[in-house]
């Protein structure tokens, strides 16, 4: 092969190498090293809550350390009373605070003929108003208990028709039908009651479920304190967690259905007077929120 042919081949090789290097550099500049992946699902501020349903692989249960916040073993200090109310937003803007220094107790998954009357009796004994997140099929089965909740001055919240944790991943039409069906069951029992809130089962919030509930005039309602009473840890643990983690403005999650709630009922007997000593308690308002 002649010297001129070798030189020409060398030039071609250099040009090709330069072009390939430019293409590689350009390609890397167009693709971020760590692209953001937004699945559109937020199960809770930290991890999802499951109520009476077992964890799934899509929405794993809380880690051993729980949901964060102060340790349940921590005792309240004198400075706690001076803390500002918790006005943080939950996933997708769901409400976690009362917006004031008052706190709100919320009860999910009912009504239940065994546990709801006991919870109502304790609330009445201490003059405390709360918010009940009602499951549609339970409201249809126990309309008398829905009427009792309303008659006692408590606030109602839509908690879906049958506690479907994956509701937020369904189509907007399906979500809307579910929420409307639940509202219809509640209103069949208490026609004049206002349903101002919706709480997504499991705290598995998504953009579609928040959008639909707001379109129907309901505020998405999350929580700030979860004593995991749905895991039946016992009255002492429930009490300890609520007292350790509740701050001015906290929305506290508990349950009046979905399993054995004897621990919750027992815990309320000591929680109610102690919370009343530390805070003012309120039912979440039914007006514009």
Phi, psi of 243 (to 5 degrees): -70, -35
Whether the pLDDT of residue 221 is over 60: the answer is: yes
pTM value surpassing 0.75: no
Least confident of 84-88, 151-155, 176-180, 242-246: 84-88
Catalytic site includes residue 109: no
CATH of the domain at 246: 3.20.20.370
What pairs with residue 219 in β-bridges?
197
Local structure of 48: helix, strand or coil:
coil
Whether the pLDDT of residue 57 is over 70: the answer is: no
Q: How far apart are CA 251 and CA 86, in angstroms?
A: 9
Q: How many domains does the chain have?
A: 2
**pLDDT for residue 2:** 52
From the list 86, 108, 164, 229, the catalytic residue is 108
Whether the pLDDT of residue 27 is over 70: the answer is: no
Is position 285 within any domain?
no
Pair (71, 198) in one structural domain: yes
Is position 284 within any domain?
no
Mean pLDDT, the chain, rounded, equals 79
Pair (65, 158) in one structural domain: yes
Pair (77, 210) in one structural domain: yes
Residue 167 and residue 201 in contact, taking contact as beta carbons nearer than 8 Å: yes
Whether the pLDDT of residue 51 is over 80: the answer is: no
Pair (117, 1) in one structural domain: no
Band (32; pLDDT cuts 50, 70, 90)? very low
Catalytic site includes residue 255: yes
Is position 287 within any domain?
no
The DSSP string of 50-102 is -TTSPP-SSS----TTTT-SS-TTPPPPGGGGGSPP---B-GGG-B-B-SSS-
Q: How far apart are CA 97 and CA 39, in angstroms?
A: 26
What domain range includes position 8?
A: 1-31
**pLDDT for residue 87:** 53
Chain segment 76-120, per-residue pLDDT in tens: 443 343 344 445 578 999 999 999 999 999 999 999 999 999 999
**pLDDT for residue 275:** 98
Measured distance between the N- and C-terminal CA atoms of the chain, rounded to whole angstroms: 86
Q: How far apart are CA 79 and CA 249, in angstroms?
A: 15
Pair (21, 57) in one structural domain: no
Pair (88, 154) in one structural domain: yes
Whether the pLDDT of residue 207 is over 90: the answer is: yes
Whether the pLDDT of residue 163 is over 50: the answer is: yes
Pair (213, 96) in one structural domain: yes
From the list 109, 226, 255, 256, the catalytic residue is 255
Pair (191, 269) in one structural domain: yes
Is position 26 within any domain?
yes
Pair (7, 56) in one structural domain: no
Is position 123 within any domain?
yes
Mean pLDDT of 55-74: 33
Whether the pLDDT of residue 44 is over 90: the answer is: no
Is position 234 within any domain?
yes
Pair (167, 254) in one structural domain: yes
Q: Do you know the residue count of the chain?
A: 289
Pair (52, 15) in one structural domain: no
Pair (155, 240) in one structural domain: yes
């Amino acid at each position: 092969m002649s010297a001129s042919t070798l030189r020409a081949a060398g030039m071609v090789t250099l040009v090709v190498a330069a072009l390939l290097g430019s293409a590689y550099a350009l390609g890397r500049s167009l693709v971020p090293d760590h692209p953001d992946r937004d699945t559109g699902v937020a199960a809770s501020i930290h991890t999802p809550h499951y109520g009476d349903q077992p964890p799934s692989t899509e929405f794993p249960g809380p880690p051993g350390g729980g949901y964060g916040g102060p340790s349940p073993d921590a005792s309240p200090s004198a400075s706690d009373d001076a803390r500002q109310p918790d006005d943080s937003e939950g996933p997708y803007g769901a409400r976690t605070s009362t917006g004031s220094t008052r706190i709100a107790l919320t009860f999910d998954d009912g009504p239940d003929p065994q546990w709801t009357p006991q919870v109502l009796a304790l609330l009445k004994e201490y003059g405390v108003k709360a918010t009940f997140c009602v499951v549609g099929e339970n409201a249809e089965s126990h309309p008398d208990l829905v009427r009792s909740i309303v008659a006692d001055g408590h606030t109602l919240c839509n908690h879906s028709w049958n506690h479907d944790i994956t509701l937020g991943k369904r189509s907007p039409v399906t979500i809307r039908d579910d929420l409307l069906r639940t509202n219809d069951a509640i209103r069949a029992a208490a026609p004049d009651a206002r349903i101002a809130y919706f709480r997504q089962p499991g705290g598995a919030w998504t953009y579609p479920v928040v959008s639909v509930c707001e379109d129907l005039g309901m505020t998405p309602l999350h929580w700030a304190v979860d004593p995991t009473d749905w895991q039946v840890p016992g009255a002492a643990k429930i009490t300890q967690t609520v007292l350790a983690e509740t701050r001015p403005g906290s929305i506290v999650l508990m349950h009046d259905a979905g399993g054995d709630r004897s621990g919750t009922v027992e815990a309320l007997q000591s929680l109610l007077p102690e919370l009343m000593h530390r805070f003012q308690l309120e039912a979440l308002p039914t007006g514009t929120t």
